[in-house]
Amino acid sequence: MIERMEGKVAFVTGGASGIGLATGLRLVHEGAVVVLADIAPERAEAAAEGSERLSAVKLDVTDEFAWEAAIDDVVRRYGKLDVLVNSAGIAPFTDIEACTTDEWRRTMTVNVDSVFFGCRNGVRAMKDRGGSIVNISSVSGLIGGPNSAAYNASKGAVRLLTKSVALHCARKRYGIRCNSVHPTFIETPMLENVLVGVRDRERTRAALVASVPLGRIGRAEEVAAMIAYLSSDESEFVTGAEFVIDGGMTAS
Ligand SMILES: NC(=O)c1ccc[n+]([C@@H]2O[C@H](COP(=O)([O-])OP(=O)(O)OC[C@H]3O[C@@H](n4cnc5c(N)ncnc54)[C@H](O)[C@@H]3O)[C@@H](O)[C@H]2O)c1
């Protein structure tokens, strides 16, 4: 077992599913103490059962005050916070004509306000000892798609918020790094939900696969491995950077 996360304390949002859950499990495997936070924490609670280093809490990432309380609680319980992974998100797929104002606002709140609250609280908790913040954006934060007006805007915002946080922390010499991760299609409940909504599921899935040069959908564990590197001291000289994990999709 690699133990590069030994002694570190991590807080992972969206921790009950997909990339967040896979990341929590990977960080625990590498030696960290991990708190999985989610608005629907049942699956995180089940994963944490019987583990001394994994626990689950309920957190609505759109709730500014709940964020403060959750991070304070981690520091109270474990004495510090070393790693924050902002993975909670939603992915509505509508074009600019179909996207309602409610959907736009909900997407920006869940995908962007959450990362803002997370980074603000993460910096507050980490600034005396340093740490690593990893924000999960998407290839949709790098390239546009006709059916993802709100999602594109939200993930683009996460990309640049990440750079601003990174540069602020560097200037202040806080020892806090902040990076964004940009996956393409990854096999998680989020992707399933997108496919449930389409008319010809198998055809759409085949089209998604065909758009990836490596010819397959990615796995949450593969994204978790990248996040684990960014969370660890091995990436000490890396900040404000975009980590693309997309089977070559954005290479052309
Ligand atoms: N799966 C993909 O294809 C893919 C691709 C690129 C980027 N991403 C991004 O990766 C991140 C994780 O996605 P995933 O595929 O693991 O999705 P997922 O649906 O499997 O997990 C998302 C988790 O976020 C939680 N969540 C949603 N709203 C919340 C809220 N208000 N407060 C707290 N928790 C909330 C959900 O309960 C869920 O457990 C997202 O930010 C997503 O945009 C996913």
Q: State residue 47's pLDDT score.
A: 96
Q: Binning pLDDT at 50, 70 and 90, where does residue 157 land?
A: very high
Query: Is 174 considered catalytic here?
Result: no
Q: Indicate the pairing of strand 131-136 with strand 83-86.
A: parallel
Q: Looking up tokens 């805007």, which residue turns up?
A: 153
Residue nearest to atom 21 of ligand 1 (CA): 17
Residues 6+ apart with CB under 8 A from 30: 1, 2, 3, 4, 5, 6, 228, 232
Strands 83-86 and 54-58: unpaired
Q: Which of 139, 123, 172 is nearest to 11 (CA)?
A: 123
Residue of 11, 17, 152 best suited for mutating to test ligand 1, as the one with most atoms within 8 Å of CB: 17
Segment 146-165 shows an average pLDDT of 98
Which pTM does this prediction carry? 0.98
**What are 32-52's pLDDT values in tens digits?**
999 999 999 999 999 999 999
**Considering the chain, what is the average pLDDT of its residues?**
97
CA of 189 to the centre of ligand 1 (A): 8
* pLDDT band (50, 70, 90) for residue 30: very high
Max Cα distance, the chain (Å): 53
Q: Stretch 84-103: mean pLDDT, rounded?
A: 97
Which atom of ligand 1 is nearest the CA belonging to 194? 3
> Pairing state of beta strands 186-187 and 218-219?
parallel
Tell me, using a 6 A CB cutoff, whether residue 91 lines ligand 1: yes
How far does the chain reach from its first CA to its final CA, in angstroms? 37
Tokens for 124, please give them.
Answer: 């507050």
Q: Ligand 1 within 6 A of 181 CB?
A: no
In this prediction, residue 84 has a pLDDT band, given cuts at 50, 70 and 90, of: very high
Cα distance between residue 222 and residue 219, in whole Å = 5
Q: Enter the tokens of residue 135.
A: 């924000």
pLDDT value at 97 more than 90: yes
pLDDT at 2 over 70: no
Task: Render pLDDT for 192-223 as a digit per residue (tens, 0 to 9).
Answer: 998 987 889 999 999 999 999 999 999 999 99
Query: For 171-194, how does the pLDDT look when each residue is reduced to its tens digit (9 = 90+)?
Result: 999 999 999 999 999 999 999 998
Nearest protein Cα to ligand 1, atom 42? 89
Q: Could you tell me which residues come within 8 angstroms of residue 199 by beta carbon, excluding any fewer than 6 positions away?
A: none
pLDDT at residue 1 greater than cutoff 90: no
Across the range 89-105, mean pLDDT stands at 97
Average pLDDT over residues 163-174: 99
The enclosing H or E element of 162 equals: helix 149-171
Residues in the chain: 252
Average of pLDDT values for 163-168? 99
**Atom number, ligand 1, closest to the C-alpha of residue 140:** 6
What is the pLDDT, as a whole number, of residue 197?
A: 79
For the domain made up of 9-185+219-244, give the CATH fold. Answer: Rossmann fold (3.40.50)
Give the pLDDT mean for 240-250.
Answer: 98
